[in-house]
A = this chain, B = another copy of it.
């Protein structure tokens, strides 16, 4: 049932959410087979050192001049996604279809290879590698915000099959979209509403409250704090916030990035020690790209605060969560933070 090779973005008329419809549809039998697919094996991994020529041409690389061909002459590499949902070429093509709204799936889909080595996570490769990875995140976001068609860049990581990981090689993902995603819009609106009422940043207030109460704080470093949010959606959910107000992750300085690498790797190690086979996601929430930010935000970023959310995937979502948007938390944030502090 192939129609075209351009994926389509469609807007949900009820909730305002955009979704991407792939141009080539999977048939029911392809879903039925998917269950039996095997884990990717190490010997066939295209993302490992030595197989660079077999991947799409790289977008960015952090070179390792001392490395060999076998160990990898790079520290981190960014390549286009093998099956990109969002593509750089083309125009937005905003248009109607009957009563509905659609546009072309313009944007970027990238794979951030976190290491030349297959079976290691960056938090185990020492602080230097984690710093390189976070620099890679920043550089890609800085580069993509120059494209005026793109409104948002989301960097995220899927760790473990049940968190949506497609590779066993350690990777993060990047998706840049021509619209502000619904979940980000909700945060911007919520933070703006609070700012309008209080004339203070909600995130700064949350941080002060958490440092006062202490029971949900996991760790504090020079520039960052990690805590389990008061109304976490999932057990052992962790947020990392910069202590100094800033709405834009890309504007973080070099010494702050080092500190961020420290707190992120510490928190991920704590999670793994507590829950060894854990699947998790994390993502960076920063303010949207410059152009819409200036138009839309008369407060110039005073009311938003960039952060990282880490979401352990310990519990299944059911019809209750999907139907209500209500979540049930089987471990309180206070208990989760206590376990994480003490491990």
Given A28-B339, A173-B319, A281-B318, check contact A325 B98 (CB 8 Å).
no
Q: Mark contacts of A309-340 with chain B using CB atoms, 8 A cut-off: 1 yes-contact digit, 0 otherwise.
A: 10100101111111111111111110110110
Q: Cβ of A183 < 8 Å from any Cβ of B?
A: yes
The answer to whether A329 touches B20 (Cβ under 8 A) is yes
The answer to whether A25 touches B330 (Cβ under 8 A) is yes
Q: Cβ of A157 < 8 Å from any Cβ of B?
A: yes
A216 to chain B, nearest CB (A): 11
Q: Cβ of A135 < 8 Å from any Cβ of B?
A: no
List of B residues within 8 angstroms of A161 by Cβ:
316
Q: Cβ of A74 < 8 Å from any Cβ of B?
A: no
Q: Mark contacts of A273-287 with chain B using CB atoms, 8 A cut-off: 1 yes-contact digit, 0 otherwise.
A: 011110001110100
Given A10-B230, A28-B275, A339-B28, check contact A322 B17 (CB 8 Å).
no
The answer to whether B231 touches A187 (Cβ under 8 A) is no
Q: Cβ of A12 < 8 Å from any Cβ of B?
A: yes
Given A274-B28, A276-B32, A316-B162, check contact A231 B156 (CB 8 Å).
no
CA–CA, A331 and B7, complex, Å: 11
CA–CA, A1 and B235, complex, Å: 15
- Report the interface size class on chain A: 35 or more
The answer to whether B322 touches A311 (Cβ under 8 A) is yes
List of B residues within 8 angstroms of A182 by Cβ:
324-326
Q: Cβ of A266 < 8 Å from any Cβ of B?
A: no
CA–CA, A156 and B326, complex, Å: 13
The answer to whether B326 touches A20 (Cβ under 8 A) is yes
List of B residues within 8 angstroms of A127 by Cβ:
none
Stretch at the interface among A41-49, A138-146, A204-212, A292-300: A204-212
CA–CA, A220 and B230, complex, Å: 46
List of B residues within 8 angstroms of A162 by Cβ:
316
In the complex, the count of this chain's copies comes to: 2
Partner of A15, one of B173, B186, B205: B186
Given A12-B231, A31-B275, A99-B206, check contact A319 B311 (CB 8 Å).
yes
CA–CA, A205 and B13, complex, Å: 10
A267 to chain B, nearest CB (A): 15
The answer to whether A328 touches B231 (Cβ under 8 A) is no
Q: Mark contacts of A10-54 with chain B using CB atoms, 8 A cut-off: 1 yes-contact digit, 0 otherwise.
A: 111111111111100111100110010000000000000000000
Q: Cβ of A100 < 8 Å from any Cβ of B?
A: yes
Q: Cβ of A269 < 8 Å from any Cβ of B?
A: no
The answer to whether A27 touches B319 (Cβ under 8 A) is no
The answer to whether B324 touches A13 (Cβ under 8 A) is no
List of B residues within 8 angstroms of A301 by Cβ:
none
Q: Cβ of A136 < 8 Å from any Cβ of B?
A: no
14 A-B residue pairs with Cβ-Cβ distance under 8 Å, sorted by A, are A13-B206, A15-B190, A21-B333, A25-B332, A27-B335, A28-B275, A31-B314, A175-B320, A175-B324, A181-B324, A181-B325, A183-B322, A186-B325, A309-B323
Starting from the known contacts A11-B231, A98-B209, A156-B322, 12 additional A-B residue pairs (CB-CB under 8 Å) come to A12-B231, A13-B194, A18-B231, A19-B231, A19-B328, A28-B274, A164-B320, A165-B318, A183-B322, A183-B323, A281-B319, A283-B319
